[in-house]
Structure 1
Amino acid sequence: MEDNHMEENEQKLETEVAPALIAVHPSQISVSVSVGSELRVFSLQDGSRVKLVDETGGHKDSIRAIRYSRSGQLFVSGGDDKLVKVWDTNTWRCIYSVVSEKRVTSLAISGDGMFVCFADKFGVVYVVDIGDCNYENTAPVNKKAVPILSHYCSIITRLEFSPDGKYIITADRDFKIRVTVFPKQPLNGAHEIQSFCLGHTEFVSCLAFISCEDYAQGLLVSGSGDSTVRLWDYASGCLLDTCDVGAEVGLLHSNQRLEEVLPAITDLCATADGSLVVVAVQRDYAVRMQLLCQDSLSHQRETFIPTSIGAAPSFPLLWMVMGASSLQSNDSALLARVRAVSGFTANTSESTESETSVLEDTEIPGRASASSTARKIVNWRRSILNSC
Structure 2
Amino acid sequence: MEETPVEGDTKKDVEIAPALIAVHPAEKSVAVAVGSDLRVFDLVDNCPVSLIDESGGSYHKDSIRTICYGSNGQLFVSAGDDKTVKIWSTESWRCIYNVGSEKRVSAAAISPNGMHVCFADKFGVIWVVDLDGGVDGNQPLVNKKAVSLLSHYCSIITSLEFSLDGRFLVSADRDFKIRVTTFPTKPVNEAHEIQSFCLGHTDFVSCIAFISKLECPHGFLISGSGDSTVRLWDILSGSLLATCEIGDKVELLESKEREGCHSAVTSICTIADGTLVAVAIQSLHGIILLNCDLSNHSLSVVKVVSISEETFIPTSLSSSCSTRYLWMVTGVSGLHNLGHSSLVRVKVISGFNKDNPNSTENELSILEDDAIPGGEKLLEKLQGGVTFDEKVFLAAAEAVKTAMSNLLTKKQYSTEKRDFRKRTRNDRKLKQG
Question: Which TM-score tier does this pair reach, normalised by the shorter chain?
Answer: 0.7 to 0.9
From 353, 356, 363, the equivalent of 2:361 is 353
Aligned to 2:62: 61
Q: Could you tell me which amino acid in structure 2 is paired with residue 288 of structure 1?
A: G
**Contact 1:148/1:188 (CA < 8 Å) preserved in 2?**
no
Which letter maps to 1:281?
Answer: I
Note if contact 1:276-1:348 (Cα within 8 Å) is conserved in structure 2.
Answer: no
Cα deviation, residue 59, structure 1: 0.6
Whichever residue aligns with residue 362 of structure 2, its letter is: S
Count of matched residue pairs: 371
Moved more, 11-20 or 205-214: 11-20
* Alpha-carbon shift at residue 207 of structure 1 (Å): 0.7
Q: Deviations over 1:299-329 (max 9, x none)?
A: 1333322110100013110001110110246
User: Counterpart in 2 of 1:293?
Assistant: 291
State the match for 2:233 in structure 1. Answer: 232
- Residue aligning to 1:369: none
1:309 aligns with one of 287, 312, 317:
317
Q: Shift of residue 82 of structure 1?
A: 0.2
> Which of 339, 344, 358 is matched with 2:352 structurally?
344
Counterparts of 1:245 and 1:289, CA distance in 2: 11
Q: Assess if the C-alpha contact under 8 Å between 2:316 and 2:329 holds in 1.
A: yes
Answering whether residue 209 of structure 2 is matched by residue 198 of structure 1, we say no
Report the counterpart of residue 28 of structure 1 in structure 2: 27
Deviations 1:314-360 (A, max 9, x none): 31100011101102464869821111110234222564133111112
Take 1:329 and 1:301, find their aligned partners in 2: how far apart are those partners?
A: 30
Specify the alignment match of 1:37 in structure 2. Answer: 36
Task: Please give the alpha-carbon distance, in whole angstroms, between the structure 1 residues aligned to 2:380 and 2:261.
Answer: 40
The amino acid that maps onto 1:267 is: S
Q: Which runs of 5+ in 2 are unaligned?
A: 1-5, 293-299, 388-395, 397-433
Q: Distance in 2 between matches of 1:100 and 1:334?
A: 25
Correspondence for 2:329 among 297, 300, 321: 321
The 3 A distance-change label for structure 1 pair 381 and 169 is: closer
1:102 maps to amino acid: K
Indicate conservation of the 8 Å contact 2:249/2:301, yes or no: no
Contact 2:271/2:277, CA 8 A, preserved across alignment: yes
TM-score, with normalisation over the residues of structure 2? 0.79
CA contact (8 A) 1:76 1:84 kept: yes
Query: Structure 1 residues 140 and 223, CA, compared in 2 at 3 Å: closer, same or farther?
Result: same
Shift of 1:364: 2.7
Distance 2:24 2:315 in 1: 18
- When structure 1 is superposed on structure 2, of 33-42 and 349-358 the one drifting more is 349-358
Tell me the residue number matched to 1:270: 270
* CA-to-aligned-CA distance 1:66-109 (integer Å, 9 cap, x gap): 01111111111100000000111111110100000000000000
- Where 1:15 maps in the other structure, the secondary structure is helix
1:6-45 per-residue CA deviation (whole Å, 9 max, x = no partner) reads: 99x5374443221110000011010000010010000111
Q: Secondary structure at the match of 2:366?
A: coil
Q: CA separation in 2, counterparts of 1:186 and 1:78? A: 21
- Rounded to whole Å, the distance in 1 between the matches of 2:137 and 2:240 is 47
| Partner SS state of residue 247, structure 2 | helix
Contact 2:346 2:379 in 1 (8 A): no
Q: 1:334 to 1:37 in 2, by over 3 A?
A: closer
The worse-fitting range, judged by mean Cα deviation, of 211-220 and 184-193 is 211-220
| Structure 1: tracts of 5 or more residues without a match | 1-5, 366-372
1:201-251 CA deviation, whole Å, 9 max, x = no partner?
111011111123664532110000100000001110000110000011245
Change beyond 3 A, Cα 1:20–1:150: same
Q: Does structure 1 residue 281 correspond to structure 2 residue 281?
A: yes
Distance, in Å, in 1 between the alignment partners of 2:119 and 2:162 is: 11
Measured at CA, do residues 333 and 351 of structure 1 come closer, stay the same or move farther in structure 2, by a change above 3 Å? farther
Percent identity over the alignment is 55
The letter for the 1-side match of 2:306 is: R
Aligned to 1:368: none
Whether the 8 Å CA contact 2:207–2:266 is kept in 1: the answer is yes
Mapped partners of 1:260, 1:159: distance in 2: 26
Matched-pair contact (CA < 8 Å) for 1:65–1:78: yes
The match for 1:72 is 73
- TM-score, structure 1 length as denominator? 0.88
